[in-house]
Amino acid sequence: MPTAPQRHALVVGASRGLGLVLVRELVRRDWRVVATTRRQDGELQESAAVSQGRLTVESLEMTSRDGPAALRERLSDRPLDLLFVNAAIDRGDLPIGEVPTEMFTEVMITNALSPLRTLEALRGLVVPGGTVAVMSSEQGSISRNTEGGYELYKAGKAALNQLMRSYATRHGDDGHTKLLIDPGHNRTRLGGPDAPLLPEESIPLVVDVLEAQAGAPGLRFLDRHGETVPW
């Protein structure tokens, strides 16, 4: 019986939370994974140590202007079937009129600008028919913004979604599947202790979506069940 071809992924932002669980799930499904972190210790390195070579760890400060390009040079001999960018910070529930300018700038750089700059720097590693994906959120859906709160976080995710649409328009003929993924409200440092979902419950569903969508053209904004999230 022929052996299934090896699949290769790069997950940016995997030191903890959803990114870490995503890496572990991909490895569990026999993907070969490169995962990035800003610090060379912790649970990601522990997972790499027991992965039998299926997981390697690279350093990346995603908000650095030159970091993603340097990573691309280090990985130039590793074609990717999946490039997944995961990054988000939250600075609390302030009305937008009370948000300091430096806080607004920090959130927009981390949650919107840096993920797209990282995609631009690394997209050349993705093979024809491969997938580029970004962790988004239903919070970035303008049409579903019908409850108050977390205005800056919502604005950052909406900006991310809009930039991803521009990216997809500019690279519409590159043959890559393009996905924005809403994993649901998960119990992480970002999502808080009262969130209804555990990453270990939601991320396997996210990986199901990634695998099912592989090879599909165009850009989709999907939840963990593969359902379309309205823009």
- Give per-residue pLDDT as tens, 66-122: 999 999 999 999 999 999 999 888 888 999 999 999 999 999 999 999 999 999 999
**SS3 sequence, the chain?**
CCCCCCCEEEEECCCCHHHHHHHHHHHHCCCEEEEEECCCCCHHHHHHHCCCCCEEEEECCCCCCCHHHHHHHHCCCCCEEEEEECCCCCCCCCCHHHCCHHHHHHHHHHHHHHHHHHHHHHHHHEEEEEEEEEECCHHHCCCCCCCCCCHHHHHHHHHHHHHHHHHHHHCCCCCCEEEEEECCCECCCCCCCCCCECHHHHHHHHHHHHHHHCCCCCEEEEECCCCECCC
User: Domains of the chain by range and CATH?
Assistant: 8-223 (3.40.50.720)
Give per-residue pLDDT as tens, 211-230. 999 999 899 999 999 999 99
Q: Is the overall model pTM greater than 0.85, yes or no? A: yes
Least reliable range by pLDDT among 37-41, 45-49, 89-93, 124-128: 37-41
